[in-house]
Structures are given as structure tokens and as C-alpha cells.
Amino acid sequence: MKYKLVNLAIIFDQVLHTGGGYQQALNVVIAINKSKEKIHYLPKFFTIYAENIPILNSYGIHVQFIKLSKFDRAWLKIRSMIYSDLILKYIGLNKFENFLINSDIDLVYFLSPSGWSNYLERLNYIITIWDSCHRDFPEFPEVYESRIFEKREVNFNKFLIRAVAVIVDSKLGKANIIRRYMVDESRIHILPFSPAFSIQNIEEKNNYNVKVKFKILDDYIFYPAQFWAHKNHAYVLQGIKALKDEYNINMSVVFSGGDKGNIDYIKSLTHELGLSNQVYFLGFVDNEDIINLYKDSIALVMPTYFGPTNIPPLEAFTLGTPVLYSDLPGLRDQVGDSALLLDLKNPSSMSKHVYSLINNLELRKELIDSGKRRMSLMDQSAHEKLIELICSEFQIKVHCWKNKGSQ
């Protein structure tokens, strides 16, 4: 028996300046929109942020805007704390879910660990979890301030156990969700991160001298990351200082990314270490600049504490840039033998690796070639295959309570 296609709402609830999460969500919607064989589902794209509409339209994606006022959003939070059947029936459906139901949606796919899933009372959903690093490193301010840790725990315990499917980034990410939140293994699916769409589809005509554009005077290492404490920009500064002290090499550092509360400290540390002439704070830069900043750099240096996987190493591999990456569980598995690993307790390990890259061209070539081979093994159709699998299983079950008809 053939069933009607599952109407799948794909919720784009990220905004451009959120960084890697935005890029990963964009990768997913582009891949699904371009897929020519949607056997079990029909995608419909939605966003709660109007500024996303022209961006998604530029990729040929028709997206509907779910317009919600401040009052609507506040009411959703209040309503989510009501469990009385009588009261819920009396006040009717919430505006967010009602919009989706009126759009004939069967299943909702959240592209992030979205609290909006808590507002669904009748519709089933798929949830995406990037990490549970608040459990790994609760000492970082972005985890404990404003009770973020407690809020994440409340959300995770709410939306994970009711999800039709949970999408994670890696085997370690899956194991952590099972161990920490008691989610059935069969409901957890691994979808590895992928490079930003602009980097996967690079055009050579976009090449230009990025050092001239940003007035970068010397060779540099590159770190594209928001200024969170866990991104460990301080380690990069200490590593550059060690490179100067131990090898008499003045290497510049280029940071790109928005401030998440830690940039003032990093700037003061730059001054304290006497590195003001070697460090460039570019803020948010566009995709073409990111590409050229990677390609012209000595290496991507990413000493982050959070994982278990991240997007910048994949982008560096794609563009032929050597990678220096944190030697931590999960992170080292992401890069294998294609990167040099950093001892986060010892900034001299960074200076040693940078020195080696400068003076050993064979090592540099080996890393670049290994990174490109690693990327060639990635399944470019993983997004489409996974959504097909989830929807095919849901398609049969939903027929038990909803008249789907036949094709």
C-alpha cells in the first residue's frame, strides 16, 4: 500500500550571525531543497525571523514566515507550563502550532536544539542536537551565567524524550545523549557536520589578495570563531607569544567572529602579552573573505574545548589549509591523522606545530593531501538519505491515526 507523502515542516530558526549553527542549518535546507528524489516526504520551509527570507530565497528556497509578536511569544511560554486538558481545550491551539497545522503539516523538523519544539502539542517533531558540552565543561561562563546550564537541562529533558528522531553530529554525541538523557538508541541518528555551502561550491574567480584588503602585514594563522570563552582564543595568543620567545618568529593572528562576551578580555590579554601589532580582530566577515582568509593562512588553529565535532576543520580541509586542533575526545576522532593536535595545557605545543609547518613543506603537503582525502570520503547525500529514512518510518505510523489516503 502506498501512502501520501509526509508534509515535513523544516523550521529555520537561526539568524545569520549565530555562526556555525546557521551554516549547518543552511547546508541542510539547501541539500533537501535540491534533492530530486523525495520518495516519502514533501518539504515545506518556514522561518520565525524575517531577515532569513531574502537569504533563503537567494538559494532558490521558498520559505514561509511565521509572524509572532512579543505577546505571542510570551503567551507560548506561559502556555507551555499548562498541563490541564480542560484549560488547553478552552484556550485553543497556540499560534505557532496552528500556523503549521493550517499548512497541512504532519511532521516538524527543527534544524537546531530548538526550544520551539516545546510548543508543539499535537504535531510530532525531529530535533537536532549539536552538542551537550554544558555537561562536559560546566565551568565556562557561557554555561553557568543566567542559569544557562539549568535551562539547557530543562529543555533537553523535555524535547529529547518526545522526539520522533534526534539528529546528532557524531558517535560520541549519540553516546552522550543515550547516557545522559536516557533516549532510545534507535531514535538517535548521526548526521556529521559539513563545510559551509559557499566553501563546498567555491568559485576561483573570487580569489583576491585578502592580506591587502585587511592590511595584514605578515604571515598569519586563522581562527574563525565567535568570542565565547570556550573557544579558547587566549591559548592562541599564548601560543604566538611562545613562538616569538622560543623560535624568534613573529606570526600574526587573524580572528573573525562576533563578540559573545569575551572579546574585551582577549583584547586586553593581547595588549598584556605585547602582541597588539600581530593580532587582527575582523569581526563578522562575508563568505568570500572567509574563503580567502583560510587559503592565504599558514594554518587554521582551533583550540576549542567544545565538540565533539566542529565545522572549521572541514572547511580548512576542503580549501587546502593545514589544521591545528584540540587533542580532546571526539575532536581528535573528527580529524584523525589529517591534523596536528594541540595540548591545551601547553601553548608550546602550538608554537612547535606552527614552526614545523613553516619549515617542513613536506609535512604541510601531507596534511593538506590527507585533509582533502578525508573530505572526499564524506557522503554528500547524507542529509537527504537520513530524512528519507525518518520520514519513511513515520509515514507508516501516521496512517494509524490520520487518514492519509493513497497515491
Helix (H, G, I), strand (E, B) or coil at 13: coil
Q: What does the block give as the cell for 402?
A: 490520520
Q: What is the percent of the chain with per-residue pLDDT over 70, rounded to a whole number?
A: 96
Q: What is the pLDDT confidence band of residue 7, given thresholds at 50, 70 and 90? A: very high
Query: What is the average pLDDT across 365-394?
Result: 93
Q: Do the Cβ atoms of 103 and 93 come closer than 8 Å?
A: no
Determine the pLDDT at residue 405.
40
Query: What is the average pLDDT across 53-65?
Result: 93
Query: What is the average pLDDT across 390-406?
Result: 78
* 6-194+379-398 classified as CATH 3.40.50.2000: yes
Residue 16: pLDDT above 90?
A: no
Determine the pLDDT at residue 406.
36
Q: Write the DSSP assignment of 144-211 as a string of letters.
A: HGGGHHHHHHHHHHHHHHH-SEEEESSHHHHHHHHHHH---GGGEEE------HHHHT--GGG---HH
Query: Which stretch of 9-18, 315-324, 376-385 has the lowest confidence by average pLDDT?
Result: 9-18
Determine the pLDDT at residue 34.
87
Strands 188-190 and 220-224: unpaired
What mean pLDDT is reported for the chain? 92
For the chain, domain boundaries: 6-194+379-398, 198-376
Residue 78: pLDDT above 80?
A: yes
Q: What are phi and psi of 234, to 5 degrees?
A: -60, -35
Residue 404: pLDDT above 60?
A: no
Q: How many other CB atoms are found less than 10 A from the CB of residue 87? A: 10
Strands 323-326 and 300-302: parallel
Query: What is the average pLDDT across 31-43?
Result: 87
Task: Give the distance, in angstroms, between the CA of residue 108 and the centroid of all CA atoms in the same chain.
Answer: 19
Determine the pLDDT at residue 18.
65
Determine the pLDDT at residue 328.
96
pLDDT digits (tens, 9 = 90+) for 230-265: 999 999 999 999 999 999 999 999 999 999 999 999
CATH top-level class for 198-376?
Answer: alpha beta
Query: Which stretch of 163-172, 177-186, 206-215, 319-328 has the lowest confidence by average pLDDT?
Result: 206-215
Determine the pLDDT at residue 37.
73
Q: Which of 31-35, 90-94, 279-283 has the highest mean pLDDT?
A: 279-283
Query: What is the average pLDDT across 67-71?
Result: 93
pLDDT digits (tens, 9 = 90+) for 204-226: 556 678 999 999 999 999 999 99
* Placement of cell 620567545 in the chain: 245
Q: Do the Cβ atoms of 188 and 389 come closer than 8 Å?
A: no
Spatial CA neighbour of 304 closest among 284, 268, 331? 331
Determine the pLDDT at residue 83.
86
pLDDT digits (tens, 9 = 90+) for 102-133: 999 999 999 999 999 999 999 999 999 999 99
